[in-house]
């Protein structure tokens, strides 16, 4: 079923009767479905960490086992990402990825329920029976990580107009982050005691079932017609035309990694995001000497995450306006500088390796504001990095630059998993050093807008061709009827 074109059309000449590019209302459903699935994937991935103590009691497992259930995410992500990229760039690749994501994530949620169905928590073998199912479910969900993160830029390019792409990418990216944000709040609320752990698993299963059903019922592969020149290129030249997809994939990666501006922006985006997420996870340890509880530290982390989401939505809206469409570098740079100031404010309010007591007086309000501003300005430019990399590497698929970026996110996260837990003072220093380094990396990077410029050139070219066709048609009619101007 093909919907009628929406009233939102790309700007065309008033003399034309046919728009150059048409937007379809289906694009909002596509974005919603992808965002829903990405939200579920991250929510399921984070199941056990916010309720670690209840999980340990209910399944009779150690803290290290609970950590491993979380760490399957970045561990499995790394080898699965190339497979996702190859699938995404096959014929009907986006639909294939969405269907696979919906089915596998439903199976992941279902597998974790099976031990509760086949045995009882009172059974002496409950822990040994449950553990393989829990690990397998988390591994299946981890394999869905690339499916929920790699397609974001390609989806927005394929379905949305150039002046909507940054906002669409932002919603798709932040939906995944929102899953973890909500998980930290909702999970402890549902699991008030160890006996309520199954309730949370059933909630996740219900959400996964709804998303899977909707995706299988309807998820179009492509819009009826391309909304831009970049989308036309994606629809006409999928990777399946190449005999050796793996060879082309490796060649394109090498092309990206030999472009200095791409490497500078990639390094900055991955380093700051990975380091910041690890640093915020240590708020409870950092703030313990200041007599803040784990619950308070959790709310500070929650506020920081929500601020990042709000900042990302605002900055993407700004970047889509005509005035700032070619200002990605300035927007990213300003955000990184403000993030540095907010981080310094926070660190002057707590004990560090350099100071045995806080330099600035602080209370819950000032700590909350400093962490919120740090989250706001670190999260706001995240999706601009996706768009900047896609612009620089055009006409290569947007999924390629996004894949390399999210791979770098996860590699950074994996490395910091072994550094952060027992070295919070080192992380306090590291976040400042990384922030300063990233500012200089963005400062020296050369931003280009190949995709936007090509879209505009093709749009103007089509407008001129349509006007010329109308003029030719008018001349023929005037000649036939013997009228001359």
Q: pLDDT at residue 39 above 90? A: yes
**Distance of alpha carbon 133 from alpha carbon 254, whole angstroms:** 39
Written as six digits, the tokens of 189 are 């609320």
Per-residue pLDDT of 409-447, as tens digits, reads: 878 877 776 666 556 677 888 889 999 999 999 999 999
Where is pLDDT greater, at 147 or 394? Answer: 147
Beta-carbon-side half-sphere exposure of residue 112 (alpha carbons within 13 Å): 30
**pLDDT tens for each residue of 286-344:** 887 888 876 777 788 888 889 999 998 999 888 888 888 888 999 999 999 999 999 99
Question: Which one-letter DSSP state was computed for residue 288?
Answer: G
Please name the helix (run of DSSP H) or strand (run of DSSP E) that holds residue 5, with its range, or none: strand 5-9
Domain ranges across the chain: 23-241, 245-464
Quick one: the chain helix, strand, coil %, rounded to 5?
A: 75, 0, 25
Q: Are 384 and 325 in contact (CB under 8 A)?
A: no
**By the 8 A CB rule, do 253 and 415 touch?**
no
Q: What is the tens place of the pLDDT at every residue in 44-61? A: 998 888 888 888 889 988
Given a cut of 70, whether residue 6 has pLDDT beyond it is no
CA distance 328 to 443: 12
Looking at domain 23-241, what is its CATH homologous superfamily?
MFS general substrate transporter like domains (1.20.1250.20)
CATH architecture of 245-464: Up-down Bundle (1.20)
245-464: same fold as 23-241? yes
The model scores a pTM over 0.75? yes
Confidence of residue 88 (pLDDT cuts 50, 70, 90): confident
The whole-angstrom separation of Cα 238 and Cα 364 is: 53
| Predicted local confidence at residue 1, as pLDDT | 45
475 or 205: which leads in pLDDT = 205
CA dihedral sign of residues 280, 286, 290, 296: positive
Percent of the chain predicted with pLDDT > 70: 88
* Measured distance CA(113)–CA(235) in Å, rounded: 40
**Model confidence at 15: pLDDT above 50:** no
């Amino acid at each position: 079923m093909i919907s009628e074109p929406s009233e939102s059309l790309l700007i065309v000449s008033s003399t034309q009767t046919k728009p150059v590019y048409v937007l379809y209302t289906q694009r909002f459903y596509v974005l919603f479905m992808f965002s829903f699935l990405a939200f579920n994937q991250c929510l399921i991935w984070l199941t056990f960490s916010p309720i670690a103590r209840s999980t340990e009691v209910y399944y009779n497992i150690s803290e290290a086992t609970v950590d491993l259930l979380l760490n399957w995410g970045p561990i499995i992500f790394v080898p699965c990402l190339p497979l996702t990229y190859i699938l995404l760039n096959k014929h009907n690749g986006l639909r294939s990825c969405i269907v696979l994501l919906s089915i596998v994530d439903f199976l992941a949620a279902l597998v974790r329920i099976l031990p509760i169905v086949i045995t009882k928590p009172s059974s002496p073998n409950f822990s040994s029976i449950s553990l393989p199912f829990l690990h397998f479910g988390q591994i299946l969900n981890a394999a869905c990580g690339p499916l929920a993160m790699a397609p974001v830029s390609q989806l927005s390019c394929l379905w949305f107009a150039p002046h909507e792409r940054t906002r669409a990418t932002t919603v798709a990216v932040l939906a995944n982050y929102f899953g973890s944000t909500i998980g930290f709040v909702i999970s402890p609320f549902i699991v008030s005691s160890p006996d309520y752990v199954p309730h949370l698993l059933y909630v996740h299963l219900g959400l996964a079932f709804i998303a899977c059903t909707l995706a299988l019922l309807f998820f179009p592969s492509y819009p009826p017609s391309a909304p831009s020149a970049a989308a036309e290129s994606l629809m006409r030249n999928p990777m399946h035309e190449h005999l050796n997809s793996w060879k082309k994939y490796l060649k394109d990666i090498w092309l990206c990694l030999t472009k200095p501006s791409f490497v500078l922006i990639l390094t900055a985006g991955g380093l700051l995001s990975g380091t910041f997420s690890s640093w915020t996870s240590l708020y409870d340890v950092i703030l313990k000497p200041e007599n803040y509880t784990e619950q308070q530290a959790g709310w500070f982390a929650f506020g920081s995450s929500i601020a990042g989401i709000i900042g990302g939505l605002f900055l993407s809206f700004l970047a889509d306006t005509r005035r700032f469409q070619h200002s990605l570098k300035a927007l990213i740079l300003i955000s990184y500088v403000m993030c540095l100031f907010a981080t310094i404010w926070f660190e002057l309010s707590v004990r560090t390796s350099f100071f045995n007591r806080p330099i600035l007086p602080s209370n819950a309000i000032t700590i909350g504001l400093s962490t919120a501003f740090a989250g706001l300005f670190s999260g706001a430019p995240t999706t601009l990095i996706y768009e900047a990399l896609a612009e620089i590497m055009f006409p290569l698929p947007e999924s390629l630059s996004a894949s390399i970026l999210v791979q770098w996110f996860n590699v950074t996260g994996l490395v910091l998993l072994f550094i952060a837990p027992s070295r919070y003072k080192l992380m306090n220093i590291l976040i400042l050093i990384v922030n300063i380094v990233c500012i200089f990396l963005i400062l020296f990077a050369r931003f280009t807008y190949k995709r936007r410029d090509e879209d505009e050139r093709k749009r103007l070219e089509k407008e001129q061709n349509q006007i010329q066709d109308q003029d030719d048609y008018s001349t023929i009619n005037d000649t036939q009827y013997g009228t001359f101007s």
